[in-house]
A and B are shown apart, each in its own frame.
Chain A
Amino acid sequence: MRLRASLRLKLALVSLLLLFIPIIGVQISEQIKRDLLRSQEETLLFSARAVATVLASQPKLFIKERFHPPEDSSEVLYLPPLTSPMRLNGQLDDWPDVDDEDSPSMGKGHILFSSEAWDPKSFSLRHMTGVRGDYIYAAFIVDDDKVVYRRDGDRRLDRSDHVELRIEDKKGRQRLYRISPRHPGWVNGYLIPGGRSSRGIREPRLQAVWELRRGGYVVELRLPREMVGTKLAFAVGDVDDEKKRTVKYVLGTNRQRKSNKDKNINDVKKVKRADAEISWIISPSETIESILKTLDRPNSRVSIVDANQRVRATYGELVSTPPPDAPSLRRQLLAPIYKLFTTSFSNANPEGPAALSTLDLDGVRQALAGEPALTRYIPVGEGEKDKKRLEVMAAIVPLKNGDTTVGAVVVEQTTNSILALQNKVIEESITLAVLLFGGAGLALIFFAFRLSSRIRRVGRDAAGAITSSGQIRSIVPLRSGDELGDLSRTLADMLEQLRSQSNFRERMADNLEHEMRTPLAGISASLQNLAGELKSLPETKSRYITMALTDIKRLEALLAQIRDATSLQEMLSLDQREVFELDIAIEMWLEHSWKPAFSGVDFIYHRPEGEVPFNGDPQRIHQVLDKLVENAVSFHNNDSPIELELQRGPSSVIIIVGNQGPGIPREMQGQIFNSMVSKRDPGGKKTGGAHLGLGLYIVRTIVESYGGTITVDSSEELSYTRFRVELPLQGKKGVLKNG
C-alpha cells in the first residue's frame, strides 16, 4: 500500500527546516567569535605596544631596575613574586615548583669555600627564593651526609651547619647574618657585626624553620624587605666533623670573583668570604607596577619580563568574576540544549600575579628576539577543571631601550568574555529557534490543519454535491479570496450550472410529457371518431387507422417511461413495504412473469436453504429484477441460460442476475447506471420496445432508496455479465404498512 502523506504531515515536516536556525546561529557565532578574537588580539597588541612605549620613554628606569642583561646570570638574585600565601613551617608545599628538579641548585660554580675537594654526595643543595608582600622568602633543600647542630653555649655561629645571608642594606652597609640552630625547629638569625666577628647579635626579624629530612635538612626563612637594600646573597655552610667543627664547604648564591673562579678549585684557603660579591636582587618592581597601574586595563594582566625571562612587574587580574546570573526559567529549561552547542569556560581567577611558569615562554622568547607575538594558551592545570576551559590570550611585544631589547611586555586577557559573548549568541539563537520553532511550527501546523480542513471541506462539498439519489445540491462556497476560495467558487458555479441544467432536463421531460399528452389524446380521439364515422370502411383502409392508433400508443408509452423515471423519487416515497419471502417471490416471478415473457430462454435459479424474508415493496423489487432479467435476456447468447442467484448474508440479501454474452466494455461499466446511457445498438430493434437507457438508472435509484448497492462484473474476453444487488435486511424505511 502506498503511504499516504497528508498535507498537514508534509507541512509539519517542512516546519522542521526551522531547525536550521540554531545551526546557522552557531555558524554566525563562530564567525563573530573569530572576529572578536581578532579584534581582541589587536587591542591587546595595541595595549602591549602602549605599555612598551610608555616604559621606553623612561630609559632611566631600566638602569634603576637593572634591566640590562648582566653578563652572568649569577650576578643577580632573582626574587620572583610568590603566588600563594607562605607559611614558615619547614613544609615546602606552599612553594611553587617545589618538586621541580630544575629549580636552581648550587654546584661547583657556587662554592664559596671548601676545605677539601667538593663532593656533591657529601653536600649539595637546591634553593628557592621569592617575594610576597613585605617579606623575602627563601628555602634551602640541603643534601648533607652529616647534620651538625650548634652546641649549647657555643656563641660562634660558624661551627655547625649554618645559613649565611649577606645583605647590603638601604644605607649601603654590608651586613652578615647567620642562622645556626641548636636543634630542628624554629630559629632566629644573628647579625654578625663587623662581618667576621664570631659572636652574633640576635636579629628577631630574620626567622627560619629548620627541619630534618631524609638525606639532609630543609631550611625555610623569612626576612622583611626593609632589611634589604639592593643586594642580597645566601650561602649555606657545611660542618661535618663534630669534634673539630671546621667548615668543610660553603655554597652560596653570590658570585665568586673572577679571579677566584680561575684558580684551582682545591686551593680553598685562598678564597675569603669578603671577596665574594653580593648579588643584586631582582624582584618585582614597585615603580613599574605603579606605572602599569596608571595604564590599567580591566580584565587583563600586564606583565613585564626582562631579557632573562624573569617577571619583573605584573599588574591586573585576568578575570573579574561577575556574580553569576540567577538562571532564568528559560535558561533552566533550555540548558541541556545550550550545552550541546556552547563552550563552557571557567570563571575562576588564576590566583595572584603571574608566575614565570604561567607565561607563554615561546611567545616571550619570540618577543625578546624582537618580534611581537600573539598567542593563546591554556594555563597549566586549567584544562582539566570541570571540563571547563580557561583560555588566555597574550600579546607580547619587545620592550626596547634605545635599540636594545631589554625585555617584553605581556598583556594577557582571557577569552572568556568572547566565549561568553559567543555562548550568548548561540543561546539566543537557540532560544530564538525554539521560540520560532514553537511559534512558527505551531503557526505552520495550524495553517496546515486549516488548509487541509478547508480542502477537505471543498472535497466534502464536491463529494456531497450529488446525492445518492442522483440529485445535485448547490454548495455554499468558501468566502476566502485565495486559490481555494476560487476553486470552491468555481465548483459552486459548476454545480449551480449543472443543477439548473439537470432541473431543466427534468422539467423538460415533465413538461414534454404533459404538453404532448393532450395533442396525442386529440389525435387518438380524432382517429377513433373517424373510425366511428366510417363504419363501413373497407378492411384495408381501417388498418391504417389501427396502425396510427398503435403508433400513438407507443409514443405515449415512451412518454410514460420518461415520466416514471423523473418522478421515481416521488413514487418511491409512496412505496408500501411489507415482509415477504423473497425466495418464493423470485420463484413466482420466474414462473409467472419472466418465463412467459421470454419463452425459449432457459433460467437457472439458485436459492438458499430456508426462507428469506425481506421487508420491502414487492412490486419495486420485482421492477428491479424485471429490468435486470430483461437486460440479461437482451444480451445473452442464444442457448445459454440466464442465471438467478439469491444469497442470504448476515445483514443483507444478495441477488445476482448473470448471463453469458458480449460483456460490457470496462470504460462503460461505471456509467451504465446513469440515465440516458445505453449500450444497446441505437439501430437495433431486438425487443421492439423503446429504449431510452432509463432502465438501469431506475434500478439503481430503487436499490439506493433501499440503502442497497448494485455493482456489475463483466468481461468482454470471458463473455459474461453479472449484476449484483445487495439489499440490507433492515431497510431505512422499514415501516411495515401492510401485512
Chain B
Amino acid sequence: MAYTIALVEDDDLLRDNYTHALQREGYEVHSYATRPEATAAFQQDLPDLAVLDVMLENEMEGGFTLCSQLRQLSPTIPIIFLTARDSDLDRVSGLRLGAWDYLSKNTTTLDFLPVRISALFKIVESLAANAQPAAEEVFTVGELTLYHEQKRVFWQETLIDLTLTEFWLVHALVEHPGHVKSHDQLMAAAQLVVTSNAITAHIRRIRDKFREIDPDFNSIRTEYGLGYRWRTN
C-alpha cells in the first residue's frame, strides 16, 4: 500500500509541481491550498506524512498552526516544513512543534524532498517494528549514543530532539571522530545544497540543543572556518 502524503502549499503551480513529482515517486498525494481546507481533510482522514508550507495565504504562521492541530490528532505523524524564508528555519527549530524536518523552498527542494520522505518513512517503520536495534545499528562515541535506524541521538543518555537534517549532520561528524568535515562534505551528508552560512546556522542549532541538556557541551569544534570536527575526550 502506498503511503499517503498531505501537501499544503498555497502557490498553485508549485503545489502541482511537487504533487506530480511525489506521485511519480509512488506516493499518494493529497494537496491543499489553504489551512481550513487541510484542517477539514485531516479531520476526515490522517495522512501518513505531511509537508507543510509555513506561510499559507495571509497566515504568516498557518503551517505552524496546522502542525499543532495535526500533532493533537496524531503524536507520531512525521511532518516536514517547507519554508520560503531562511529565518523561518530558526523558528521551526525553536518552536519544538514536533516537526521532523524542514527544507527551504528553492531550486534544490525537489532533489532532496523525496530522500527525506523516504528516510522518515523508514524511521516510522523502524519505530513501528519496535524491535531492539541490532548492535551494528548502535553507534557510541564518548557520551553520545546514536541509533542509526531510528535516527535518534542520546547525549548522556538523554534523547536530543534533532530533526532529520540535524541528525545527518551529527552522524557525519561522529562517523569519524576527530576528522574535519568541510562544509561541502556536511552538505552532502545532510542531503542539502545550501550556503556555508546555512551550514553554520545548522551547527549552531545543534550545539544549542546539546547545550540545553549539557551546558558544558563542547564536542563540535570549528576548524578555522573550514569545517567542523567532533572532538572526543
- The interface of chain A, by Cβ under 8 A from chain B, is 514, 517-526, 528-529, 532-533, 549, 552-553, 556, 560, 563-564, 571, 574, 576, 578, 580, 584-585, 588-589, 592-593, 617-623, 738-739
Contacts and interface: CB of A to CB of B under 8 A. Distances in A.
A526 B105 CA distance: 14
Give the most central of A529, A556, A564, A739: most B CB within 10 Å. Answer: A529
Given A580-B224, A584-B224, A619-B225, A520 B106 contact: yes
Contact of A522 (B14, B218, B223): B14
21 contacts: A517-B84, A517-B105, A518-B14, A518-B84, A521-B107, A525-B109, A526-B13, A529-B110, A553-B108, A556-B107, A564-B195, A564-B197, A584-B224, A585-B224, A588-B223, A592-B226, A617-B222, A618-B224, A622-B224, A622-B225, A738-B207
Given A524-B110, A563-B86, 7 more contacts: A522-B13, A525-B14, A529-B21, A533-B24, A552-B107, A580-B224, A585-B225
Interface in B15-66: 17-18, 20-21, 24
A514 B85 contact: yes
Contact of A514 (B20, B84, B108, B109): B84
B196 interface: yes
A606 B106 CA distance: 43
A560 to B, nearest CB: 6
A635 to B, nearest CB: 24
Given A549-B107, A556-B106, A738-B218, A522 B224 contact: no
B228 to A, nearest CB: 10
Interface string B91-108: 000000000000001111
A233 B84 CA distance: 145
B200 interface: yes
B18 A525 contact: yes
Given A529-B20, A529-B21, A521 B224 contact: no
Contact of A528 (B85, B106, B110): B110
Given A580-B224, A589-B225, A618-B224, A560 B204 contact: no
B197 A571 contact: yes
B122 interface: no
Contacts of A533: 24
Contacts of A571: 197
Nearest to B226: A592
Contact of B204 (A574, A580, A589): A574
Interface of B: 11, 13-14, 17-18, 20-21, 24, 84-86, 105-111, 195-197, 200-201, 204, 207, 218, 221-226
Interface centre among B17, B107, B195, B226 (most CB of A within 10 A): B107
Contacts of B108: 524, 553
A571 B195 CA distance: 13
B17 A576 contact: no
A727 B226 CA distance: 20
A438 B197 CA distance: 67
A549 to B, nearest CB: 7
A-B residue pairs, 9 tightest by C-beta:
A622-B225, A525-B17, A619-B225, A524-B107, A618-B225, A585-B224, A522-B14, A522-B13, A521-B105
A738 B204 CA distance: 10
A315 to B, nearest CB: 114
B17 A526 contact: yes
A620 B225 contact: yes
Given A517-B106, A518-B105, A520-B106, A739 B224 contact: no
Contacts of A578: 222
A619 B198 CA distance: 12
Nearest to B199: A619
A620 B226 CA distance: 11
Contacts of B11: 518, 522
A620 B201 CA distance: 13
Contacts of A528: 17, 21, 110-111
Contacts of A525: 14, 17-18, 21, 109-110
Nearest to A518: B11
Contacts of A593: 226
A532 B21 contact: yes
A574 B202 CA distance: 12
A564 B196 CA distance: 11
Contact of A532 (B14, B24, B224): B24
A549 B207 CA distance: 35
A148 B108 CA distance: 160
Contacts of A552: 107
A514 B17 CA distance: 19
Contacts of B196: 619
A576 B222 contact: yes
A523 B108 CA distance: 11
Nearest to B182: A592
B10 to A, nearest CB: 9
A553 B226 contact: no
A560 B108 CA distance: 14
B200 A619 contact: yes
Nearest to B10: A518
Contacts of A619: 196, 200, 222, 225
A690 B231 CA distance: 38
Scoring B11, B218, B221, B224 by chain A CB atoms within 10 A of each residue's CB, the highest score goes to B224
B29 to A, nearest CB: 13
B195 A560 contact: yes
A376 B88 CA distance: 108
Nearest to A575: B200
B184 to A, nearest CB: 12
A585 B207 CA distance: 22
Contacts of A620: 225
Contacts of A526: 13, 17
